[in-house]
Structure 1
Amino acid sequence: MKIRRAIGGWSIVAGLYFVALLWADSKTGVLRRLPELAPMLPVLVAATLTSIALRFARWQWLLRRAGHRVPVGHSLLAYVAGFAFTATPGKVGELLRVRYLVTAGVPASRVVSAFVYERLFDLTAVLLVALPVAAEFQVFGVAASFVAIVFGLVGGLAVSRRLGLRAVVALRRLGLMRLARIVRAAMAGLHDIRLWATLPDTALSLGVGVAAWLVTAWSFAYLVGALHIDTALSPLALLALFPVAMLAGAASMLPGGLGSTEAILIALLTFSGAAPAPASLAAVGIRLATLWLATVMGMAAFGWLEWRRARA
């Protein structure tokens, strides 16, 4: 795995994001208003940590159900390290988990399977939490279609390897290289997904996914209220706003939904009556407290694990 290239890619993406923030600041003054977020940060950070803790508990459950008893400390570091390159093209984060869990006796294909299984239930959970806004803005059909396509693609790949290879070739011809890499990586571990095709595993995975995303969705609703942003949205619809934006970000195929998620959040808030400046501050604030906080945590875990590997 080319770590230096991944770090270089992350640096470029982070730099471009900062340039975009400078441009947004010239229009809305969003950077100058960032200190306004300080009183809300403890709540936002706590919500993000709670969401990550819930998802890690599910991850550890899946590994144990597959017969792997990885020490909690090492497993947590490997899991969090997977967030280090979320904002980088490709699935480097998941490759990092493979890098550190293989040494603990977990086959690479099993790590990929657990990742795909986890993402499927996260996607379903986000759709369920997003229902109020998706229905109100009449985009439920689009959101549900995206989720159905992902499930259909994964199911087809699990059943037929030849179908998966054809899908990779077709995506490459269309120029969708990132999606082609995702499909190819998914093919490596789809066979093991059947290990968790039980009622307890599916119920727990979906329940934890919904709980984790509800916490994150609530944190954005809290931020909007704390910034005194007036909208015509009901409390339930406001709770569903961030999940809708996350679905749009995932559908855009941009790394971490960078830019697209923020744009959708700002558009939905302004369409609902909010002024552009506070809407931009809320969008940037929630991304700093979720995506970028997780990225910093991932980098710290990655650095620690690499230091331990070097010593060993």
Structure 2
Amino acid sequence: MSLTDSIPTPPPHVLAASKRSWRDRVLFWGLLVLFVVGLIGLVTATGWRETWQELQKLTVTQFGALLALSLINYVLRGVRWHFLAARLGVNLSLHTSLLHFIGGFAMTITPARVGELVRLRWIRRMTGWTLERLTPLPLADRAFDMAAMGLVLGGGVLISGQGGLRAAPVAAAAIVTAVIVTRPMLLKRIVEALFSLVNRWPRLFATLRQSARSMGLFSQAGTSIPALILSAVGWLAEGFALYLLLKWMGADIGIAAATTIFLFSTLAGGLTGAPGGLGGAEASMVFLLSMSGVPLHVAVAATTVIRITTLWFAIALGALTFPFAEAFSNKSKMI
């Protein structure tokens, strides 16, 4: 017997987990490099000196205020996650729900953000519920996000009077999608129609059909109105952050216009399917700011800062919180 023969082979699930972890790290650093390279290209095109001068205008206190506004958004949406989970019947504390919600941001960089479904894994460990039973939760969470963003975006377009033709279709698509997802019978018919068209993956479509039936829990006014309010206030905080940032850089375009640009760019980036909306969100924001009269070097500087204080701040918080959420769910499973 050789020395290598005496070394046990790791179980398949351990090897699979190791491969996923390696892929996640490569994806994270690869996207970060692409983000930095893209910004360097923009800065080079607009002039290093001008962009750097705009970045220097931002004080530590102001940067902290931007992070605080982002944190308000995350906490309010975490409270909404807890509220929707409780409506579904999940009996967990608010502290635990916030831990799960923020910890899930660590997986924002996965394609279409499917990695955030790790939240369901943590709930499953702690409650014993099946994934099929929990599936309506992320669907409702995303639906209320889209509905609130669409409503705030539409309101911003009306108030600012800018970008109506560009923003109206995106706002309408967000609202229509949210309405469909939170109407169980309509969603059920759409799932059945898709299955008839594809005629594959019967187990997946059966799960989606069951989830569609459960969406009725979230369509009542007592659930949908508080969820929409929490979502809207959270996203308004992010729009206000962009408004303050532009004002500090000497480009006051109005809070309604700034909020419209931020939400449109966020939705546009999400529609590309790229992890975290990378590329699409930045390009949309720089373009819309420039079209609103903001100098290009200011638009690039503001876009760089706001993406750091929103997307990358969320990922950093998620990365810090993820190990605690993982350990806490494992401990609860053993109990």
Q: Same fold (TM over 0.5)?
A: yes
Flag the 1:183–1:243 CA change in 2: closer, same or farther, 3 A. farther
Structure 1 match to 2:4? none
User: Is 1:45 the counterpart of 2:67 in the alignment?
Assistant: yes
2:169 pairs with 1:142: yes
CA 1:65–1:310 in 2, change beyond 3 Å: closer, same or farther? closer
Aligned to 1:199: 221
Residue number in structure 1 paired with 2:248: 226
Find out whether 1:248 has 2:274 as its counterpart.
Answer: no
Provide the secondary structure at the position in 1 that maps to 2:106: coil
Q: 1:133 aligns with which of 142, 148, 157?
A: 157
The structure 1 residue matched to 2:193, chosen from 130, 138, 163, is 163
Distance, in Å, in 2 between the alignment partners of 1:301 and 1:60 is: 17
Q: CA deviation at 1:78?
A: 1.4
| Separation in structure 1 between the aligned mates of residue 329 and residue 53 of structure 2, nearest angstrom | 41
Q: Per-residue displacement from partner, 1:48-99 (whole Å, max 9, x unpaired)?
A: 1111111111111111122221133332221112111212214443221122
Deviations 1:251-297 (A, max 9, x none): 22222211211111111111121111111111111111011100111
1:201 and 1:164 mapped to 2: Cα distance? 28
Unaligned runs of 5+ residues in structure 1 are 171-181
Match of 1:17 among 30, 35, 38: 35
The answer to whether structure 1 residue 121 and structure 2 residue 144 are counterparts is yes
CA contact (8 A) 2:151 2:171 kept: no
**Who is 1:257 aligned against?**
277
Tell me the number of residue pairs that the alignment of Structure 1 and Structure 2 aligns: 299
**1:273 aligns to what SS in structure 2?**
coil
Deviates more, 1:81-90 or 1:260-269: 81-90
Aligned residue identity for 1:239: T
- Whether contact under 8 Å (1:6, 1:92) holds in the other structure is no
For the residues of structure 1 that align with 2:292 and 2:52, how far apart are their CA atoms? 23
Return the offset for 1:306.
Answer: 3.6
1:33-72 maps to which residues of 2 (within 5 A)?
34-37=55-58, 38-72=60-94
**1:108 aligns to what?**
131
Instruction: Write out per-residue CA displacement over residues 128-157 of structure 1, whole angstroms, 9 at most, x where no aligned residue.
Output: 222233752222442244225634764554
C-alpha distance in 1 between matches for 2:312 and 2:255: 26
Q: Is the 8 A contact 1:78 1:100 kept in 2?
A: yes
Identity between Structure 1 and Structure 2 (%)? 26
CA contact (8 A) 1:164 1:184 kept: no
Q: Report the 3-state secondary structure (helix = DSSP H, G, I; strand = E; otherwise coil) of the residue aligned with 1:84.
A: helix
Q: CA deviation at 1:32?
A: 7.7
C-alpha spacing 1:25/1:148, structure 2 compared with 1 (3 Å): same
Is contact 1:133-1:241 (8 Å) kept?
no
User: Structure 1 residues 94, 186: closer, same or farther in 2, change over 3 A?
Assistant: farther
Query: How far 1:23 moved relative to its partner?
Result: 2.0
Distance 2:205 2:31 in 1: 23
Q: Aligned to 1:139, what secondary structure does the other structure show? A: helix
State which structure, 1 or 2, has the greater radius of gyration over its C-alpha atoms. 2
Deviations 1:145-179 (A, max 9, x none): 42256347645543354324357789xxxxxxxxx
AA paired with 2:322? F
Letter in 1 for 2:266: M
Query: Does structure 2 conserve the Cα–Cα contact (< 8 Å) formed by 1:81 and 1:93?
Result: no
Indicate conservation of the 8 Å contact 1:249/1:257, yes or no: yes
Match of 1:83 in 2: 105
Counterpart contact for 2:102–2:317, Cα < 8 Å: yes
Give the letter aligned to residue 299 of structure 1.
A
- Quote the Cα distance in structure 2 between the aligned partners of 1:112 and 1:270: 41
CA-based RMSD: 3.0
Return 5+ residue gaps in structure 2 as ranges.
Answer: 1-16
Q: Which residue of structure 2 aligns with residue 177 of structure 1?
A: none
CA distance in 2, matches of 1:21, 1:259: 10
CA separation in 1, counterparts of 2:205 and 2:167?
A: 25
